[in-house]
Chains A and B, each alone.
Chain A
Amino acid sequence: MKKNIFFAAAIVGTTLFATSCNNEPTIDEGLEIETTEIAEVITENVFESPDVDYHLPSALQVASIFKKSGMRFNPSSMNSTENSSNYTTAASQMLNFGVYSADIAFCVTNNQINEARELIGVIKDLADVQGMSAVFDNKDLMDRFDSSLGIEDSIQYVMVEIHERTEEYMTENEMLHTSAVHYAGAWIEGMYLGVVDFENNSENKNVGSQINEQMEILKNIIKGLKDPKNNELGLESTISDLESIESTYNSFESVKAFHSDESAVELFLTKEEFSTLSTLIKDTRSKIINA
């Protein structure tokens, strides 16, 4: 008996002694420690950010930019909330979470109260099926959302808070690859809404200019979708469609001329180029929302 107690105490003592004499602990990927031996806390594959990285604008910022450019928002152009029950695959849920996020951002910046109220419900449901219910499970936040609708400054701060909560949740749960899919959905919806407005209001060069500016971020959106952690989602078709938009856009003479002229200030597509781009954007968006 005494021997056994002594033996157990020796295990505990040795463990404590060995680790206290160890080097400083190290941090593993995702800031979680992975130990191979109890006595020695050494990590492999210590997390580092990539050498080349990027930050994409929030859906709220994009909506705000389009509004400032004079875009006339038409709520009937948004993705119908009734479509949400059709999204049964992980990919369609993630993409359309992004689509509806863009829709609500446009609603909020354009004071479309009833539509925003309807959309937050759909967004919450899609968050739930993706395991993100913690983002919206905050009664105080949802109450503030509801009471702030119609008060521009207030609702924007609530939307920023929702965006930040989503951001933190994705980061802490190592879901940034999922974030990239959300973003792709939000981007295509924002572009679609911009294109629809410009078609009906082509004198407004500012909206056309914004569509061109938003094209600049597409390469990084595609990069995010191609994260190996997204491989099982079956996004090949969406990636292919977005790459087609990108390559077609880059082949436009207006675009080539703009990029080769350092003194060029703004880029304006010809009517035919815009029509081609518009068709591609609409087709891609249609595939996503009709999944």
Chain B
Amino acid sequence: MKKSILFLAFFGIAIVFAQKITTLAEYKSSIKANKSEAKKSISPYLYDGYKTTYFNYKTFKQTKEVEIYLFNNTEYRLAFNGKSCSKGLKVNIYDKEKSSSNRLLLKTIDNVTGQNIMIKTDDLNKALKLSNSKATRLKRVFISYEIPAIATANNSKPSLDDRGAVVLVMGYKN
């Protein structure tokens, strides 16, 4: 009889974990799908890699930055997939890191939530030259994700609703 009790208790626990794993598996699967979609949009450029930036919405505004290298007059495509950001995300692209006082804002995507947007570095270089006619090309860009403040967020114990992720896929012209 003890065995039956243990079995039933274990069965109950297993059901609980199965529910949670399903949610987690769905989340992971959605990030993969987002990456896949972003990868399609860089075609026919060669896939170089990806960077998923994970965050939790909080009651205050946040920024996360990713540095990308651009080499030897090569053209690149950067695809941003914000389909795992439910509450807004702004993307700013700069020519220098955030500690630099005179960095230039090259491009803004006001809200990438629910979207897959592809940008060509050719356009970023044009923006650079518009601002400085003597400039030749960008050697690095800094992607700055502006995560808005959400009044209802739980800063210390975020729920799945408060989680966000943006996938950046890079491709280069061979």
Contacts and interface: CB of A to CB of B under 8 A. Distances in A.
B159 to A, nearest CB: 4
A55 B170 contact: yes
Contacts of A55: 49-51, 66-69, 168, 170
A7 B5 contact: yes
29 contacts: A8-B8, A9-B8, A15-B12, A16-B15, A16-B16, A19-B19, A24-B159, A24-B160, A25-B19, A26-B163, A33-B21, A38-B16, A48-B54, A50-B64, A52-B65, A54-B66, A54-B67, A55-B49, A55-B67, A55-B170, A57-B48, A57-B71, A64-B172, A163-B49, A206-B72, A210-B72, A213-B71, A213-B139, A216-B69
Given A55-B49, A265-B136, A33 B20 contact: yes
Contacts of A24: 159-161
A244 interface: no
Contacts of A164: 47
A49 B71 contact: no
A133 interface: no
Contact of B20 (A41, A53, A265): A41
Interface string A208-237: 011001101100100000000000000000
Given A16-B12, A51-B64, A1 B1 contact: yes
Contacts, number: 154
Interface string A5-39: 10111011101100100011111000111010010
Interface string A137-164: 0000000000000000000110010011
A27 B27 contact: yes
Nearest to A39: B16
Contacts of B23: 25
A4 B3 CA distance: 11
Given A12-B12, A263-B134, 4 more contacts: A46-B157, A53-B53, A61-B46, A68-B72
B28 interface: yes
A19 B14 CA distance: 12
A27 B62 CA distance: 19
Contacts of A52: 64-65, 67, 97-98
Please classify how large the interface on chain B is, using the bins under 10, 10 to 19, 20 to 34, 35 or more: 35 or more
Interface string B1-37: 1001101110111011001110110011000000000
Given A31-B27, A57-B71, A48 B136 contact: no
Contacts of B20: 25, 33, 35, 41
A12 B9 CA distance: 6
B92 interface: no
Contacts of A8: 4-5, 7-9
A103 B56 CA distance: 40
B115 interface: no
B28 A31 contact: yes
A56 interface: yes
A218 to B, nearest CB: 11
Nearest to B46: A160
A27 to B, nearest CB: 6
A278 interface: no
A259 B71 CA distance: 17
A43 B46 contact: no
A239 interface: no
A55 B163 CA distance: 22
